[in-house]
Structure 1
């Protein structure tokens, strides 16, 4: 069994819980992907998901930007949680003390945490050594790719054959151009090491389509330069006309999503 729940997705904070459990396991394994929230906010969002911080077994930090690290140091010290991040990300956070909790995450080197096996992969983003990841329980596969400027062949390779995808759908170019953001910031966001536009996210989904892809989640929407209906429209158009199209969900920047099972589409249809 593999499932996930996004707790928040946007420039004000990012966090996703990935949960896996094998039939013989007494309890699920839970990985927190990013924790860009305050400790009280995180506790509140976890409680809404039926969880507490003690239920989290490990943390994966994609990169050092503040909307992704949030309360990570407090989690490490108060709750004794291991935290995976790249050496580059660790070096970009010299003031944070992780003690013995830091575990180096490396491109294309799988990590096993209980019933979850996750594989980090490098992405183009304006951070020291940013990573995204795929997660599996051995049968089902979830791909996560937010905070990247373009879908490189390396990224696309790691997202092949996923049963669910969480894909950045950050901005609408027209809204970004009309925004109050200064030109240099607009260039950063739309650049090859910035964030994905809706249309590019849709192109990624179209290229990654296969018969068992059951769910696509548009994530990391800009609250200033995007709208949920625009992001959803692009993603739905990417799978329109397919005999068995995956479901499309857009993560709310503040409240995230509900729990979603990662199940092959044919199994979902049978159920």
Structure 2
């Protein structure tokens, strides 16, 4: 069964990723307003009735800003780890909270969502692998460095949202103060273009059909630079640079069919 994916917004001004099949879907983070989420989904021909839950990666405001409005209006369950919940302030808002734990699959209809820990400067940050039958999609952003768990999950994906936050030279020469530069590149901040490219070149499976590069810095990166850097290494995988200003198209992700000979 295919999965349908889109980035509704990606960047420090708000992050929200949609993954679903024809009957049910989930939002990974909700860092833009309820109204903007509704508007962008409507433009894409997606229905809010299909969304069944919100999964929270960590407590930073660009990932949770829209959760309260969305969860209250639509009564979406919010899956969040206890550590992230304590640090987010969401526990005070009487939302339909559901506990989330790393490596424990959560089933939403035929969707299976599995969280796993990542390296980021937050209370209890997690990335996600979403599967439907044999089709696998990863959401891998806000990562300080590519740990073995990220590598293992990335190498299984038919499509992935992967952070390519900053160009190392642009960050070094840019106007950010030293402490912020250190936070970004210090191992628990964000992935650089070169780190993401190395992951792609060494661990991208041959069957990956789409790669959406995400959480691109406005100050320290450039979409054209990313395309120039990554395109020679994509082979048959389609490259998309997710925008901080608008939604991407909806992409259909299908696991390749394996044809077995009959003796």
Query: Which TM bucket (shorter chain)?
Result: over 0.9
SS in 1 for 2:208: coil
Aligned residues: 257
CA contact (8 A) 1:35 1:70 kept: yes
SS in 2 for 1:230: helix
2:70 to 75, 78, 103: 75
Deviation at 1:190, TM superposition (A): 1.0
1:214 to 167, 191, 209: 209
The equivalent residue for 1:11 is 12
CA contact (8 A) 2:213 2:241 kept: yes
The equivalent residue for 1:175 is 170
Residue 244 (structure 2) pairs with residue 253 (structure 1): yes
CA contact (8 A) 1:142 1:164 kept: yes
Question: Quick one: distance in 2 between partners of 1:221 and 1:266?
Answer: 33
Deviation at 1:203, TM superposition (A): 0.8
Residue 48 (structure 2) pairs with residue 53 (structure 1): yes
2:34 to 31, 39, 61: 39
The equivalent residue for 2:119 is 124
Question: Quick one: distance in 1 between partners of 2:118 and 2:225?
Answer: 25
The equivalent residue for 1:25 is none
What are the superposed Cα offsets for residues 185-235 of structure 1, whole Å, 9 maximum, x if unpaired?
Answer: 011011100000001101111222222111111111001110001112232
Residue 168 (structure 2) pairs with residue 184 (structure 1): no
Question: Which segments of 5 or more consecutive residues in structure 1 lack a partner in the other structure?
Answer: 22-27
Residue 158 (structure 2) pairs with residue 158 (structure 1): no
SS in 2 for 1:142: strand
Question: Which segments of 5 or more consecutive residues in structure 2 lack a partner in the other structure?
Answer: 259-263
Counterparts in 2 of 1:20 and 1:179: CA distance versus 1, 3 Å: same
Question: Quick one: distance in 2 between partners of 1:53 and 1:126?
Answer: 31
Deviation at 1:184, TM superposition (A): 0.4
SS in 1 for 2:130: strand
Residue 107 (structure 2) pairs with residue 112 (structure 1): yes
1:66 to 39, 61, 68: 61
Residue 200 (structure 2) pairs with residue 205 (structure 1): yes
The equivalent residue for 1:20 is 21
What's the C-alpha RMSD, in Å, of the aligned pairs? 1.7
Counterparts in 2 of 1:95 and 1:72: CA distance versus 1, 3 Å: closer
Deviation at 1:179, TM superposition (A): 1.5
Question: Quick one: distance in 2 between partners of 1:262 and 1:122?
Answer: 25
Q: Which moved more, 1:100-109 or 1:121-130?
A: 100-109
Deviation at 1:123, TM superposition (A): 0.3
Counterparts in 2 of 1:266 and 1:220: CA distance versus 1, 3 Å: farther
2:220 to 225, 233, 238: 225
TM-score, normalised on structure 1? Answer: 0.90
CA contact (8 A) 1:169 1:218 kept: yes
Counterparts in 2 of 1:100 and 1:177: CA distance versus 1, 3 Å: closer
SS in 1 for 2:29: strand
Counterparts in 2 of 1:264 and 1:109: CA distance versus 1, 3 Å: same
Counterparts in 2 of 1:256 and 1:198: CA distance versus 1, 3 Å: farther
Deviation at 1:237, TM superposition (A): 3.4
